[in-house]
């Protein structure tokens, strides 16, 4: 599970009293629409050996080789639109100082940021602030071309209005523009297709994870599998080329063996090989470099089955990881005392590893809208039998912190005490919540026999994120954190609760147009938890401890 939103400050410490340092790095170079571009640094890269740098380079190149996949997954016309926008921006010789050109550039930047014509969080389609006639003139002037079907999709607000539509009562497959299903395929057809397949398949397999459902010439549904000789074959061939180079410079045999299984998965599309790879990957814990690569998260599939392409390449932050190692070492203590039914607790928590890492490169679903923490693999049975890897993206979290500035806090905080807590503990509490969410939240618990999360469809991901958040929030003020040296006092937990409610109730809604429904899984989770608190607790109690 990827979770969306390093200093050298130890957990539980404050920056107060530190010597002032002039920061000349430009963390926030540009803002447009409701988006802010954030730059990040990669401390520690220069300390890597030449072989390690080669390993990072090959993994980054493998990730970038598949970046067009996410555009096509998000919407069937995205790549054609992107290429036309790029051609106009590169070649237009006309007046670039008009209101129409400014509106065109805003639209282009929105599309580039969201890897398509739908907002990356709200899922709503971007509506051009310029006329179709003006755009047709730009296309003609630069030699770009788009079909009538694509132009209608851009300018008609009723066509493919939402990338993912989970509105109650709608056909969530047919109403969603995401390109995991042919446009005329219905939710009922997909459900029946996979129910029939599930009747004879290995129950452990993540059915549908790496394929698109299409209607063949006889009218029946079939899968187009994403593999080297299948759908996205050209991009996958290039991914495999770089992964094979990475095998030759891997830090150890475990890393190389896992990469070989990933390559085999890309070549065959076999979901059993995918599981074998995840088992090998989660056990490959030695070395300074790690990565996430392939079709991972299912948030953007209305049915919760098909995964977006994603890569993150990571360099270990040894100092920060050592500080937080205590969280994973005490996972059993937290699991045993969690407020869930006994049958939902793991009797033995296995193989949880937690690291703070520095991101060296991202692509696909992780870029440019990046997570701040990740817990993988997603298969419940692998987590139960073999464990999981949890990472906190330290340099990403720091970049967010440096780019925000104090204005937002002072605008939305309730009073001076809330501001004081946030200024003193905000960074540290955010990192601790991320750690508890990833290490304990996603890695905790077990499903009852016979339960398959596919049955939850569009509700699976928001509920899983809520479960992880609630697990983390439950322990944020536990004395155990003070005992373990992870928190100096309960003030850190108070700051975390304040921040969570501010974000869940108000701040995240900046990304949603008034009157629109929240569609994104993490946003739904935070709104659900925060709204429950708001409804159940007397309003004045939210701001008084």
Strand 371-376 versus strand 2-4 pairing type: antiparallel
Output the six-digit token pair for 205: 């397999």
Alpha carbons 531 and 538: distance in angstroms, whole number: 12
3-class secondary-structure state, position 150: helix
CA pair distance 404, 392, nearest whole angstrom: 19
Q: In this structure, how many other beta carbons lie within 10 angstroms of the beta carbon of residue 147?
A: 10
Largest CA distance in the chain: 72
Domains, the chain, ordered by start: 35-67+231-543 (3.30.540.30), 76-155 (no CATH)
Which H helix or E strand runs over 356?
A: strand 352-364
CB of 174 closer than 8 Å to CB of 124: no
CA distance 263 to 270: 11
Q: What is the pTM of this model?
A: 0.78
Residue 440 per-residue DSSP state: I
CA angle 457, 459, 465 (to 5 degrees): 125
Query: Are the C-beta atoms of residues 246 and 55 closer than 8 Å to each other?
Result: yes
Q: 50: Cβ–Cβ under 8 A, 6 or more apart, which residues? A: none
Per-residue CA distances from 89 to 80, 93, 108, 112 (Å): 15, 9, 9, 12
Name the region of 118 (left: φ>0; alpha: ψ -120 to 50; beta: rest): beta
368 upstream amide cis, omega within 30 of 0: yes
Cβ 242 vs Cβ 59: under 8 Å? yes
Q: What pLDDT tens digit does each residue of the chain (545 aa) get?
A: 666 653 333 333 334 333 444 568 888 889 998 888 999 999 889 999 999 999 999 999 999 999 999 999 999 999 999 999 999 999 999 999 999 999 999 999 999 999 999 999 889 999 999 999 999 999 999 999 999 999 999 999 999 999 999 888 999 999 999 999 999 999 999 999 999 999 999 999 999 999 999 999 999 999 999 999 999 999 999 999 999 999 999 999 999 999 999 999 999 999 999 999 999 999 999 999 999 999 999 989 999 999 999 999 999 987 777 767 777 788 888 888 888 888 887 777 765 677 889 999 999 999 999 998 888 999 989 988 998 898 889 899 888 877 765 667 777 888 888 888 877 777 777 778 877 877 777 767 777 777 766 667 677 778 888 888 888 888 888 888 888 888 877 788 888 888 888 878 777 776 667 777 777 777 788 888 888 888 887 655 554 44
525-529: long-range contacts, CB 8 A cutoff, minimum separation 24 = 525/462, 525/463, 525/465, 525/466, 525/469, 526/469, 526/500, 528/462, 528/466, 529/466, 529/469, 529/470, 529/473, 529/500, 529/504
Measured distance CA(377)–CA(401) in Å, rounded:
28
Residue with tokens 């070649």: 91
Angle at 491 (CA atoms; ends 489, 492), nearest 5 degrees: 85
Strands, E assignment, 151-236: 211-215, 221-225
- Select from 321, 325, 263 the least CA-distant residue to 288: 321
- Which structure tokens are listed for 166? 């989970």
Q: Which residues contact 105 (CB under 8 A, 6 or more apart)?
A: 89
Instruction: Return the sign of the alpha-carbon dihedral for residues 505, 299, 447, 5.
Output: negative
CA distances from 74 to 212, 298, 307 (A): 12, 12, 11
Q: Which two tokens stand for residue 421?
A: 């807590």
At residue 376, the 3 state secondary structure works out as: strand
């Amino acid at each position: 599970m990827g979770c969306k939103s390093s200093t050298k400050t130890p957990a539980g410490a404050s920056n107060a009293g530190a010597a002032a340092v002039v920061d000349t790095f430009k963390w926030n170079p540009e803002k447009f629409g409701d988006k802010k571009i954030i730059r990040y640094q990669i401390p520690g890269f220069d300390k890597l050996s030449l072989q390690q740098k080669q390993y990072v380079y090959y993994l980054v190149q493998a990730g970038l080789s598949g970046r067009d996949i996410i555009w096509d997954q998000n919407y069937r016309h995205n790549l054609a639109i992107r290429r036309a926008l790029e051609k106009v921006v590169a070649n237009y010789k006309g007046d670039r100082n008009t209101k129409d050109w400014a509106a065109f550039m805003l639209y282009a930047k929105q599309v580039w940021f969201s890897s398509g014509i739908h907002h990356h969080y709200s899922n709503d389609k971007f509506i051009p602030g310029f006329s179709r006639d003006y755009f047709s003139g730009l296309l003609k002037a630069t030699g770009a071309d788009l079909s009538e079907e694509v132009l209608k999709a851009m300018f008609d607000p009723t066509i493919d209005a939402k990338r993912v539509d989970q509105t109650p009562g709608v056909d969530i497959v047919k109403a969603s523009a995401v390109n995991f299903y042919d446009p005329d395929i219905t939710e009922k057809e997909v459900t029946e297709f996979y129910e029939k397949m599930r009747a004879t398949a290995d129950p452990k397999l993540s059915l549908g994870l790496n394929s698109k459902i299409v209607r063949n010439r006889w009218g029946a549904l079939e899968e187009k599998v994403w593999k080297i000789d299948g759908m996205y074959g050209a991009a996958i061939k290039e991914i495999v080329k770089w992964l094979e180079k990475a095998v030759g410079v891997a830090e150890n045999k475990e890393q190389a063996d896992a990469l070989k299984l990933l390559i085999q998965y890309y070549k065959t599309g076999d979901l059993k090989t995918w599981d074998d790879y995840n088992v090998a990957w989660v056990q490959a814990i030695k070395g300074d470099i790690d990565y996430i690569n392939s079709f991972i998260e299912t948030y953007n599939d209305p049915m919760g089955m098909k995964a977006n392409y994603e890569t993150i390449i990571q360099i270990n932050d040894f100092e920060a990881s050592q500080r937080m190692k205590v969280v994973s070492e005490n996972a059993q203590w937290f699991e045993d005392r969690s407020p869930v039914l006994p049958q939902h607790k793991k009797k033995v928590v296995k193989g949880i590893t937690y690291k703070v890492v520095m991101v060296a490169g991202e692509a696909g679903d992780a870029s440019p809208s990046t997570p701040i923490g990740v817990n993988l693999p997603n298969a419940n049975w692998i987590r139960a039998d073999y464990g999981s890897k949890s990472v906190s993206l330290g340099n990403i979290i720091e970049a967010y912190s440096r780019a925000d500035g104090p204005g937002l806090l002072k605008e939305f905080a309730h009073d001076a005490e809330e501001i004081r807590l946030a200024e003193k503990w905000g960074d540290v509490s955010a990192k601790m919540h991320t750690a508890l969410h990833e290490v304990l939240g996603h890695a905790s618990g077990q499903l009852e026999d016979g339960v398959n999360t596919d049955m939850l469809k569009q509700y699976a991901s928001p509920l899983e994120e809520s479960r992880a958040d609630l697990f983390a929030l439950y322990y944020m003020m536990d004395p155990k954190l003070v005992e373990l040296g992870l928190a100096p006092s309960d003030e850190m937990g108070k700051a975390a609760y304040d921040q969570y409610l501010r974000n869940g109730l108000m701040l995240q809604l900046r990304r949603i147009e008034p009157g629109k429904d929240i569609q994104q899984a993490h946003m739904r989770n935070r709104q659900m938890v925060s709204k429950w608190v708001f409804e159940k607790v007397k309003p004045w109690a939210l701001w008084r401890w």
